Chains A and B, each alone.
Chain A
Amino acid sequence: MSGFKNRLARLYASSRWSQLAITATTILMTFIVVSALFILIGRDPLKAMYSFFQGSGLGLKPSYTKQGGILSDFFSFLGILAPMLLASLGVVIGLKGGLFNIGVSGQMLFSGFMATILVGYADFSPAVSILLILIVGLVCGGLIGAFIGWLKYRFNIHEVVSSIMINYIVSYATGYFIKTKYVDPIIRSSRAVKPNARLAISNVKLAGQTIEIPIGIVIALLAAFLIKFFFDRMVPGFEIKMVGHNRECAEYAGVRINRVMIRSLMFSGMLAGLAGVTYYLGYYRTMTPKDLASLGFDSIAVALLGNLNALGCIFSSFLITIFQKGAVYMGSATGVVREIASVITGILLLFSSLGDFIKAKAESYSQQMTFERESREEAER
């Protein structure tokens, strides 16, 4: 028993395997707790779990509509995965610099709104539209991010406070304009953007199914690798990490910490902006007034679960999106309310926040073991 415990501790403490082992443990524990939850409300946990995958196009449903199929489900899954990944990357950039951008939703809403009214109703060719939409997304998100950073630098306003307030300002301001100027009276949302101004290629026929290919997922994956490279190899990325780890030391080392903090929040906002345009002009095509996307908040969980690592976010956004996206089908298949998806996300986050604790425990345990072994050997000698 102690041998097993010992080996387990060493696994969690080892520099190479620790991250993988802890993530696996997190997921395993979540599945156990969630299964218990399903059993408690009298459902078959395996069936319920599988229905999340079926709803995300990762497992065959028993029946499909005429034009639907596993492929159309999967591409739709990718369509919502893209903004989730982009938003979580935005959170990562902020947190790497020690700054908590909790205003991703607001930045998404603002850039989505601007892209909708500036490009969405215009008659550019699809290629030009896509380019313009991305630029609007980057600029609008980046502007709000930089503004939050500037408020922090100039007036010492905490970024959490200012970004939450900006969330509401954006939500009410865009809500007003949507209702008064861009409303579609039937659906009570903004008028749908024109088909040539969408970040998706619609009506593609593949294996007899009608699918919609999201352009956002390509951008999101590209962004993940770019950010990985930015933090691993580039000078500004190194500066953001320095400021994030120890602001005082960064200042001492000659880094202009204010500039770096503004920059870090600007980049964070740019990613949120991209998430916004892929969400509102990719996955959807309309905007509901005064509605902050909950995806913006879920992305914080994704970033933390991905251990603030850009590539880790690909994995964690995939996982959490399965629950979010698959919840609708799970609801109809098992009769459990779909809000259970948020519960699962919460449990996942709870366990993932235990990661550092497990690691620290394991480290001190294996250190103690080494110490005891050494002193035993000492005594024998």
Chain B
Amino acid sequence: MEKKPIVELKNISKQFPGVLANDNISLSIQEGEVFAILGENGAGKSTLMNILFGLYRPDEGEIMIRGEKVELVSPRDASALGIGMVHQHFKLVQNYTIAQNIILGKEPKKRLLFMNFVDTKKAEQEIADISRQYGLEVDPRQVISDINVSIRQRVEILKMLYRKADILILDEPTALLTPQEIDHLIRTIRELKNHGKTVILITHKLREIKSVADRCAVLRRGRLVDIFDVASTDTKEMATKMVGREVDFSIDKSEMIPGEVLLSVEHMSVETHDKAMVVKDVNFEVRGGEIFAIAGVSGNGQVELVSALYGLMPMKEGKITFNGVDITHLSIRERTEQGLSYIPEDRQETGMIGDMALFENLAIKSYYHAPFSKHGLLQFDAFEKHADELIESYDIRSGSGGLTLMRSMSGGNQQKAIVAREITLGSRLLIFVQPTRGLDVAAIDHIHRQILAEREKGHAILLVSLELDEIMQLADTIAVIYGGEILHVEKAEHLTQEEVGRYMMGVQE
């Protein structure tokens, strides 16, 4: 049966400051299919879908819906055309009930005494009908803050269905779900397809694509690389297409000279605020001169693991020994003084103070001792001298040197500054969390060289990254984390990218 295209994107380009997020992308999606968009972080998947949803306007290109050219100025336009989107971060009113959230902006009304009132009964009835039809059971009277992530996602899907959307965009819908919840979601997607809906699934998880999608487009660094039929392609091929081979920066990496064990983590468990176990009984050791990389799909506990290691999050159980000292109960400052450096994932919120100058930011971990302060007084000469040295030797570019407001610098230079600060602490263990996220190629290269230089000095490196490329390039030892557990630890040279990818999906031999 010949199906007609429902969404056509023609030559879409979108430029952000410093990044070409979408580079001349054309694709056409058939009515009633499940169409996956695959790509690494920063490949431009979300940007493309935000354009289709009217949140961004493309710099170039046009959009056709059901064969007609459309101008999408706001999500309202997209909604009117039957396009619905579930964002990665849900957009729900916390203290409203499920029913109130679903009808918000499109409330059924009843008139009473010449005034409009929300017809709650009718709303709940309609919602119950839709839930039954698609197998999405919810209790419309529950308040959002009382329900868990997977039900919230269900509410988001119901919200689209209530608005009679028939093109449904799901942005990384499984990022926060457990395996069982993922299975349920996949059944829901099939159900939606059976009802004739078109589903666009943004993801970087191959297993989901394999189990539910009809066709798949691959984006890499803003460009459309390939479109293929899912049924006739195996996951291995997909991974190759996603990661790509052409961006293989070869960096001179010498043979590892293993030093003594610097860090040992025993039986570490971490719980979040709402008592979810995100790290479960993890054990590992890192040696001097070793880059120990933790690979894993986002949200598998890797960030919580290193946060607890650095003291940003409380540990439920376990013991951390660093350099022969038990640091389990030390404060962050004491850990820093013991020789721990930490380059956080969220550089703008955690790693720096945007409203302070560069020279201050370079000293936020050392301002309280000599030479930065004497007798409780800050020594700005020392601050500036320190800043000038770092700017020089780490090639940090800023408008007016050390006096530049940190916020006004580019992301790459902010990260260079943070890395420079952490390295000059002289720590023996450096924890890098997603050190190159969102950076351009040159800045990535710079950071990678710094990491290798630290390794040469005999320091231990703990690297957490979602980029498999990065891990394969740098790591001496790779630990794969899945569902809060370390599934596999092995020397990097004994592993291929595909094997690591498979462990990341939770596949055991």
Where the two chains meet, the residues of A that have a C-beta atom closer than 8 Å to any C-beta of B are 233-236, 238-239, 241-242, 245-246, 248-256
- Find out whether the CB atom of A233 lies under 8 angstroms from the CB atom of B378: yes
Instruction: Kindly list chain A residues whose C-beta atoms are within 8 Å of the C-beta of B336.
Output: 254
Q: Kindly name the residue among A241, A253, A254, A255 whose own CB sees the greatest number of chain B CB atoms within 10 A.
A: A253
B364 on interface, CB distance cutoff 8 Å = yes
Query: For chain B residues 312-357, which have a beta carbon within 8 Å of chain A?
Result: 312, 331-333, 336, 342, 344, 349-356
Set A235, A239, A246, A251: member contacting B312, Cβ < 8 A: A251
Q: What separation, in Å, do the CA atoms of A90 and B352 have in the docked complex? A: 27
Known pairs A248-B349, A256-B333. 4 more at Cβ < 8 A? A238-B367, A251-B312, A252-B342, A256-B331
Q: What separation, in Å, do the CA atoms of A236 and B373 have in the docked complex? A: 11
- Find out whether the CB atom of B344 lies under 8 angstroms from the CB atom of A245: no
Chain A: CB-nearest residue to B336: A254
- B interface bracket (residues with beta carbon within 8 Å of A): 20 to 34
- Find out whether the CB atom of B377 lies under 8 angstroms from the CB atom of A233: yes
Instruction: Kindly list chain A residues whose C-beta atoms are within 8 Å of the C-beta of B378.
Output: 233-235, 238
Where the two chains meet, the residues of B that have a C-beta atom closer than 8 Å to any C-beta of A are 312, 331-333, 336, 342, 344, 349-356, 364-365, 367-368, 373, 376-378
Q: What separation, in Å, do the CA atoms of A251 and B368 have in the docked complex? A: 14
Instruction: Kindly list chain A residues whose C-beta atoms are within 8 Å of the C-beta of B344.
Output: 252
Q: What separation, in Å, do the CA atoms of A245 and B349 have in the docked complex? A: 10
Q: What separation, in Å, do the CA atoms of A253 and B353 have in the docked complex? A: 10
Set B312, B342, B355: member contacting A245, Cβ < 8 A: B355
What are 17 A-B pairs at a CB distance below 8 A?
Answer: A235-B367, A235-B377, A235-B378, A236-B376, A242-B364, A245-B354, A245-B355, A245-B356, A246-B349, A246-B353, A248-B349, A249-B351, A249-B352, A250-B364, A252-B312, A252-B351, A255-B333
Chain A: CB-nearest residue to B364: A253
Chain B: CB-nearest residue to A232: B378
- Find out whether the CB atom of A249 lies under 8 angstroms from the CB atom of B331: no
- Known contacts A234-B376, A238-B367; A254 and B349 CB within 8 A of each other: no
- Known contacts A234-B378, A238-B367; A252 and B353 CB within 8 A of each other: no
How far in angstroms is the closest Cβ of chain B from A370? Answer: 12
Instruction: Kindly list chain B residues whose C-beta atoms are within 8 Å of the C-beta of A246.
Output: 349, 352-355
Q: Work out how many contacts link A and B, with CB atoms closer than 8 A.
A: 57
- Known contacts A245-B355, A251-B312, A254-B333; A235 and B364 CB within 8 A of each other: no
How far in angstroms is the closest Cβ of chain A from B136? Answer: 36
How far in angstroms is the closest Cβ of chain A from B431? Answer: 12
- Known contacts A234-B377, A254-B336, A256-B331; A249 and B364 CB within 8 A of each other: yes
- Find out whether the CB atom of A245 lies under 8 angstroms from the CB atom of B353: yes
Q: What separation, in Å, do the CA atoms of A254 and B330 have in the docked complex? A: 11
Set A235, A236, A249, A256: member contacting B353, Cβ < 8 A: A249
Majority secondary structure, A binding face: helix
Instruction: Kindly list chain B residues whose C-beta atoms are within 8 Å of the C-beta of A250.
Output: 353, 364
Instruction: Kindly list chain B residues whose C-beta atoms are within 8 Å of the C-beta of A248.
Output: 349-350
Instruction: Kindly list chain A residues whose C-beta atoms are within 8 Å of the C-beta of B350.
Output: 248-249, 252
Q: What separation, in Å, do the CA atoms of A249 and B351 have in the docked complex? A: 6
- Find out whether the CB atom of A235 lies under 8 angstroms from the CB atom of B349: no
Instruction: Kindly list chain A residues whose C-beta atoms are within 8 Å of the C-beta of B376.
Output: 234-236
Q: What separation, in Å, do the CA atoms of A235 and B369 have in the docked complex? A: 9
Q: What separation, in Å, do the CA atoms of A252 and B340 have in the docked complex? A: 12
- Known contacts A233-B378, A235-B368, A235-B377; A249 and B349 CB within 8 A of each other: yes
Chain B: CB-nearest residue to A363: B408
How far in angstroms is the closest Cβ of chain A from B60? Answer: 19
How far in angstroms is the closest Cβ of chain A from B403? Answer: 9
- Known contacts A235-B368, A236-B376; A242 and B353 CB within 8 A of each other: yes
Closest 8 CB pairs of A and B: A254-B333, A253-B364, A246-B353, A254-B332, A245-B353, A245-B355, A252-B350, A253-B365
Q: What separation, in Å, do the CA atoms of A234 and B332 have in the docked complex? A: 22
Instruction: Kindly list chain A residues whose C-beta atoms are within 8 Å of the C-beta of B368.
Output: 235, 239
Instruction: Kindly list chain A residues whose C-beta atoms are within 8 Å of the C-beta of B333.
Output: 254-256
How far in angstroms is the closest Cβ of chain B from A39? Answer: 41
Instruction: Kindly list chain B residues whose C-beta atoms are within 8 Å of the C-beta of A249.
Output: 349-353, 364
Instruction: Kindly list chain A residues whose C-beta atoms are within 8 Å of the C-beta of B377.
Output: 233-235
Instruction: Kindly list chain A residues whose C-beta atoms are within 8 Å of the C-beta of B352.
Output: 246, 249
Instruction: Kindly list chain B residues whose C-beta atoms are within 8 Å of the C-beta of A234.
Output: 376-378
How far in angstroms is the closest Cβ of chain A from B496? Answer: 36
Instruction: Kindly list chain A residues whose C-beta atoms are within 8 Å of the C-beta of B349.
Output: 246, 248-249
Instruction: Kindly list chain B residues whose C-beta atoms are within 8 Å of the C-beta of A236.
Output: 376
How far in angstroms is the closest Cβ of chain B from A249? Answer: 5
Q: What separation, in Å, do the CA atoms of A242 and B363 have in the docked complex? A: 11
Chain A: CB-nearest residue to B352: A249
Q: What separation, in Å, do the CA atoms of A233 and B312 have in the docked complex? A: 28
Instruction: Kindly list chain A residues whose C-beta atoms are within 8 Å of the C-beta of B355.
Output: 245-246
How far in angstroms is the closest Cβ of chain B from A231? Answer: 10
Q: What separation, in Å, do the CA atoms of A242 and B366 have in the docked complex? A: 13
- Find out whether the CB atom of B356 lies under 8 angstroms from the CB atom of A251: no
Instruction: Kindly list chain B residues whose C-beta atoms are within 8 Å of the C-beta of A252.
Output: 312, 332, 342, 344, 350-351
Instruction: Kindly list chain A residues whose C-beta atoms are within 8 Å of the C-beta of B312.
Output: 251-252
Q: What separation, in Å, do the CA atoms of A250 and B368 have in the docked complex? A: 13
Q: What separation, in Å, do the CA atoms of A62 and B333 have in the docked complex? A: 66
Q: Kindly name the residue among B336, B344, B378 whose own CB sees the greatest number of chain A CB atoms within 10 A.
A: B378
Q: What separation, in Å, do the CA atoms of A172 and B390 have in the docked complex? A: 58
Instruction: Kindly list chain B residues whose C-beta atoms are within 8 Å of the C-beta of A255.
Output: 333
